[in-house]
Amino acid sequence: MTPDEAIRIARALPCWTTVTGAVPLDGGITNHNIKVTDQGRDYVVRLGEDIPEHGILRWHELSLSRAAADAGLSPRVHHHEPGALVIDFVDSVALTEGDLHDPAMLMQATDLIARVHRQMPRYAHGPVLAFWVFHILRSYAHDLTARGSRHVPALAGLLDEANVLERVVGPVQLVLGHNDLLPANILCAEDRLWVIDWEYGGFNSPLFDLGGLASNCDLPRGAEEAMLTRYFDAPPDADLWRSYSAMKCASLLRETMWSMVSEQTSVIDFDYTEYTDKNLSRYRAALADLKAKDTLT
């Protein structure tokens, strides 16, 4: 789908009265995002179908988007239909990796994560999927092998590492997580932060969101310690740090293998090969750091 085609589809949705503008928005590597102005109000149209290989089911994204809006965490859902989700536009800027290196902003983002985990279950209803990263990694490996990916020779070693990481993570507390905390999925408005994009939401360990945010922003250890202390209201002990570090590695491996699959399946204009290489490098560095500090068995 070209940007012009996406704009045409967005403008043709039946929820509008008088459309006076429609422009594509930056970002979105599984959707086309269009800002539409109707009767002086702005909205975001997210165009995208189910993506089964990534576990993206739009009925589930809609359900969690509504729950997050009811919880005051995400913009309100204005309209939906197959292939399209329309939400209120929020006057804001998407965060960047550098923004999360500011201690004050990191604490605000950590508080937002905590609110997601603690408040979302009060507002979600009906079926809610689980998001267990190690199942996802095994599923990705199966799909990559079936599709004859260029990455097949590396998969056995990566799965061996994933099995070790799963054991190190150990028992988990379940929360309703976002599970895709790229900095761009956190919006900074004048008076608050918002979280967007519920494609991968589901029950998971809180360590996945925390580790995902840290890995996606390449946070230094001191910032990670501050984040964990803020979230758990106490400095992390050795057991928590070990479990968290293993989950952070798993989150990086998931992002890497997500991109490996997307290299073959996505029709979005995005350099997935470069994204795979970037995340594989980050994963290798995080795993090496964990091995240097711990004996993994």
Cβ-based neighbour number of residue 82 at 10 Å: 8
CA distances 210 to 43, 114, 143, 162, Å, are: 29, 10, 27, 18
Q: Radius of gyration of the chain from Cα atoms?
A: 19
Look at residue 2 in the predicted model and tell me its pLDDT.
83
The residues facing 81 across adjacent strands are: 84
**Its pTM surpasses 0.95:** no
Which residue is listed with tokens 């704009």?
A: 7
Chain CA centroid to CA 225, Å:
21
Q: Helix or strand or coil: residue 110?
A: helix
Max CA separation in the chain (angstroms) = 63
Element (H, E) at 157: helix 152-169
On the 0-12 / 13-18 / 19+ scale of CB atoms within 10 A, 186 is buried
Asked if residues 1 and 32 have their Cβ atoms less than 8 Å apart, the reply is yes
pLDDT value of position 213: 96
pLDDT at 28 over 80: no
| Buried b or exposed e, range 187-213, using 16+ CB within 10 angstroms | bbeeeebbbbbbbbbbbbbbbbbbbbb
Please give the mean pLDDT across all residues of the chain: 95
Q: Please tell me the least confidently modeled range out of 22-26, 86-90, 94-98, 247-251.
A: 22-26
Measured in whole angstroms, how far is the alpha carbon of residue 88 from the centre of its chain? 20
Domains and CATH numbers, the chain: 3-91 (3.30.200.20), 94-293 (3.90.1200.10)
Q: Quick count: other Cβ atoms within 10 Å of Cβ 1?
A: 13
8: pLDDT strictly greater than 80? yes
pLDDT digits (tens, 9 = 90+) for 198-233: 999 999 999 999 999 999 999 999 999 999 999 999
Average pLDDT, integer, range 7-18: 96
pLDDT at 295: 65
Beta bridge partners of 86: 45, 79
Q: How far apart are CA 19 and CA 38, in angstroms?
A: 4
Please calculate the CA angle 228-56-33 and round it to the nearest 5 degrees: 90
pLDDT above 70 covers what percent of the chain?
Answer: 98
